[in-house]
Amino acid sequence: MTISPADIESIRKKFPVLHQKVNGRPLVYLDNAATTQKPLSVIESLDHYYKTTNANIHRGAHHLAHQATVMFENTREKIRTFINARESAEIIFTSGTTDSINLVAQTWGRMNIQAGDEILLSHMEHHSNIVPWQMLAEEKGATIQVIPVTEQGEWQIEMIDSLLNKKTKLVAVNHVSNALGTINPVATLIEKAHAIGAKILIDAAQSVAHFATDVQKLNCDFLCFSGHKMYGPTGTGVLYGKRELLEAMPPWRGGGEMIKSVSFEKTTYNEIPHKFEAGTPHIAGVIALGAAVDFIQEMSWSEIEAHESELLLDATEQIQTMDGLRIFGTSANKTGVISFGVEGIHPYDIGTLLDKQGVAVRTGHHCTEPLWNRFGVPGSVRASFAVYTTKDEIELFVAALNKSISMLK
Ligand code: PLP
């Protein structure tokens, strides 16, 4: 069952930023894979926290410190349920997906990756899920292996068995590609990785807001995502890790909160998750991330998926026949992301003309340069949808795109 137009309208009322004109036209915001807009409940949660509660967490004996701690820890529990982790100690707050991946690279990675080991990535990873591993591989003398991507923008599945071997210590892949929208068959890869004794990290930055995530069912070792791509504040993110792995990992950043006791002779470290949360976090942001989870959970996953797939189908049908237009990522299994190029026109020029008509899309390499090198193009124009995107907006986008192409040809 999809979300009814009336419900979409009431959802849109919760997003003040959507109700404005850009360049004299109603804003059509189709850059949701970069960041989603925020509902009033999230904005008001930030405001409410600073107006009524602001205090540092975990350490204070006073009322406000206690309140702030309870609110902060409530979000940890909400995130635990959201991704079905076994316990809230397996949820570590970070500043985003990039931060979460770097944490794993600098702790689990530095402890477990040795010279000659292999780290398996895919050709459609975001730079955030490439560079931290390259830095680690360089330091340790390990090598990076890459799952190739087909013309349709899917993993070349038949290559996986030969890429996984006893030297593979870690597999790190996204669940959904930010550049193509492909939903990758991570469950199969998780099983295969475990069968050869490797650990696996899932970059869920582009999936958590679009379909249900169940870390116990997936049985992944680590899972990372950003608050700002799921209607929450920027500067918030999550690292999920299995307890036994997190406990065995050394801390990364040293400072307050992550310690049990400090002396110049010997410092001992706090329990998880606090061992990985040095310093004062984005308290207001984490609390507001809880409001973002509540916002998502007001809808059912089947409604969200049905709505976003209808938009994807609608937009794909309308633009795929345009002269010289090529869609990158034509998998049958996609979220609401359309990446495309038009022969003879630079993506940036299309993006600029769309913006003049009020349509916000992303152009460029979307932090996936290796992927575009594989396709032999500098990048793409990317339109990406969210729960508040309407069919009327797809019509406006298609009309604006037609106009832009005819002006540029
Ligand atoms: N991974 C994927 C698949 C992404 O789409 C992004 C952001 O676009 C990231 C990682 C990095 O997320 P952040 O910049 O929030 O750390």
Q: What is the largest CA-CA distance in the chain?
A: 72
Output the average pLDDT for the chain. 97
Quick one: pLDDT band at residue 262, thresholds 50, 70, 90? Answer: very high
Report pLDDT digits (tens) over 161-177. Answer: 999 999 999 999 999 99
User: Does the pLDDT of residue 398 top 90, yes or no?
Assistant: yes
Nearest C-alpha to atom 8 of ligand 1 is from which residue?
34
Q: Is 184 in the pocket of ligand 1 (CB under 6 A)?
A: no
What residues contact residue 187 under an 8 Å CB cut-off, 6+ apart?
A: 218
Give me the pLDDT at residue 386, please: 98
Give me the pLDDT at residue 2, please: 87
The CA-atom distances, in angstroms, between 376 and each of 18, 178, 337, 395 are 35, 18, 20, 30
Percent of the chain whose pLDDT exceeds 70:
100
What residues contact residue 213 under an 8 Å CB cut-off, 6+ apart?
A: 82, 83, 84, 175, 204, 207, 223
Quick one: pLDDT band at residue 273, thresholds 50, 70, 90? Answer: very high
The owner of tokens 């937009």 is 315
User: Does the pLDDT of residue 67 top 90, yes or no?
Assistant: yes
Ligand 1 centroid from CA 52, angstroms: 32
Nearest C-alpha to atom 14 of ligand 1 is from which residue?
98
User: Does the pLDDT of residue 59 top 90, yes or no?
Assistant: no
Give me the pLDDT at residue 72, please: 98
Give me the pLDDT at residue 409, please: 86
Ligand 1 centroid from CA 205, angstroms: 6
User: Does the pLDDT of residue 101 top 90, yes or no?
Assistant: yes
Give me the pLDDT at residue 70, please: 97
Which atom of ligand 1 lies nearest, measured to the CA of 234?
Answer: 15
Report pLDDT digits (tens) over 327-341. Answer: 999 999 999 999 999
Mean pLDDT in residue range 188-196: 98
Domains contained in the chain, CATH given: 5-30+300-408 (3.90.1150.10), 44-297 (3.40.640.10)
Ligand 1 centroid from CA 98, angstroms: 6
Give me the pLDDT at residue 392, please: 97
Give me the DSSP letters along 132-165.
HHHHHHHHHT-EEEEE-B-TTS-B-GGGHHHH--
- Specify the 3-state DSSP secondary structure of 182: strand
Nearest-angstrom CA–CA distance, 144 and 116: 10
Weakest mean pLDDT among 29-38, 42-51, 53-62, 114-123: 53-62
The CA-atom distances, in angstroms, between 271 and each of 15, 100, 101, 250 are 39, 18, 20, 11
Mean pLDDT in residue range 193-197: 98
Give me the pLDDT at residue 1, please: 80
Q: Which of 210, 158, 130 is nearest to 385 (CA)?
A: 210
Quick one: pLDDT band at residue 312, thresholds 50, 70, 90? Answer: very high
Q: Is 95 in the pocket of ligand 1 (CB under 6 A)?
A: no
User: Does the pLDDT of residue 293 top 90, yes or no?
Assistant: yes
Ligand 1 centroid from CA 357, angstroms: 27
Mean pLDDT in residue range 264-292: 97
- Tell whether the torsion through CA atoms of 59, 64, 66 and 72 is positive or negative: negative
Report pLDDT digits (tens) over 354-382. Answer: 999 999 999 999 999 999 999 999 999 99
Mutate to test the pocket of ligand 1, among 125, 206, 335, 369 (most ligand atoms within 8 A of CB): 206
The owner of tokens 């702030």 is 68
